[in-house]
Structure 1
Amino acid sequence: MAATSQADARARLQILRKLLEEGTVSTQEELCEALQKKNFSVTQSTVSRDLRRIGAAKTISSSGEVVYRLPEELMIAAPVPTLTTGIKGLLLSIENNGSMIVIKTPPGSASLVAHHLDLTKPDGILGTIAGDDTIFVAPASMKKIESTMEAIVDELS
């Protein structure tokens, strides 16, 4: 039984790699649907684990779309595309509690948005911490937290 599940996992990972090589998949839900069409019974959490296992990451394609890429493709891709049109629309909400700014993004997009903020450093940001769909932003000044939030919104809009 374990040998069969290992063989299934290997086959699923092979198909997942092929789907990512096509360069058109931008969400884990799309990957779930594509794998299910190929007769794999998967959930979003399975796809998420598989993506981590093969080292896939969300990037911006040359056309400005957010897509998953394999590590080999990330090494070949040069120069690193700027995050402009692809980052737009990933900011779902932004709020603060007086000391920390919290940004919500679609699932799987937080690290991409946080990386962009770390690169561009909108006014007033010390740094970011990203989860799957949530980013914590450390503002440089709690007194200027509202203007920092405005700078972030301007950067991501």
Structure 2
Amino acid sequence: MKKSKRHQIIKDMIKAEKLGTQKEIQDRLEKIGIFVTQTTLSRDLREIGLTKVKKDEKSYYVLAFETEEVNLIEFLSKHIQSVARAEFSLVLHTDLGEASILANVVDGHPEGRILGTVAGADTLLVICRDQEAASEIEGELLSAMD
């Protein structure tokens, strides 16, 4: 099976159900005859841009572009280790491999104070509209991280 077809099946599953673990996704795939290793599945989830959200005390995967219903500041504060500001930009440090997923979330979220992002492996550069916007977002993130 082509990777693009497997990715589409995973996306459809995530839209249909609130799956909270890779094991749940792997089990659903196996039920329909698709067998993948945990390593392959993990890479698929990263490539698709899935991220976890917590709502009503339950964590589950969503597509990055579907996180609009989630408060961006609260979401980021749960996934970053630190935040620093330089003029109109913010530098967010994450766990290894998380920065690109968070970039997808930020870029897909309707937050007028943010122009865009650039992601490395564990560092996310958030380019804000201006210094005031960067300062506001930095303060909100620091408050939410406490």
TM-score, L = length of structure 1: 0.49
Q: Measure, in 1, the Cα distance between the counterparts of 2:64 and 2:139.
A: 34
Partner in structure 2 of residue 67 of structure 1: 61
Q: Measure, in 2, the Cα distance between the counterparts of 1:114 and 1:156.
A: 21
Q: Measure, in 2, the Cα distance between the counterparts of 1:114 and 1:60.
A: 16
Q: Measure, in 1, the Cα distance between the counterparts of 2:134 and 2:74.
A: 26
Matched residues, number: 129
- Partner letter of residue 36 of structure 2? F
Shift of 1:148: 5.8
Match of 1:131 among 116, 119, 133: 119
Q: Measure, in 1, the Cα distance between the counterparts of 2:74 and 2:88.
A: 29
Partner in structure 1 of residue 45 of structure 2: 47
Q: 1:90, 1:113 within 8 Å by CA — same for their partners in 2?
A: no
Deviations 1:68-111 (A, max 9, x none): 1498xx5xxxxx63417961412321124566321134522333
Q: Measure, in 2, the Cα distance between the counterparts of 1:114 and 1:14.
A: 21
Deviations 1:16-70 (A, max 9, x none): 2464121123xxxx33774278331225223333x26xxxx54857637563149
Compare the two structures and name the one with the higher strand fraction: 2
Counterpart check, 1:35 vs 2:26: yes
Q: Measure, in 2, the Cα distance between the counterparts of 1:86 and 1:98.
A: 23
- Partner letter of residue 110 of structure 1? A
Unpaired runs of at least 5, structure 2: none
Unpaired runs of at least 5, structure 1: 75-79
Counterpart check, 1:119 vs 2:108: no
> Structure 1 residues 154 and 33, CA, compared in 2 at 3 Å: closer, same or farther?
same
Which gives a bigger RCO, structure 1 or 2 (Cα 8 Å, sep 6+)? Answer: 2
> Structure 1 residues 130 and 67, CA, compared in 2 at 3 Å: closer, same or farther?
farther
Partner in structure 1 of residue 71 of structure 2: 83
Considering only aligned residues, what root-mean-square deviation do their CA atoms show, in Å? 4.6
* SS in structure 2 of the partner of residue 40 of structure 1: coil
What does 1:11-26 correspond to in 2, within 5 Å? 12-13=6-7, 16-17=10-11, 19-20=13-14, 21-25=16-20
Q: Measure, in 1, the Cα distance between the counterparts of 2:7 and 2:91.
A: 34
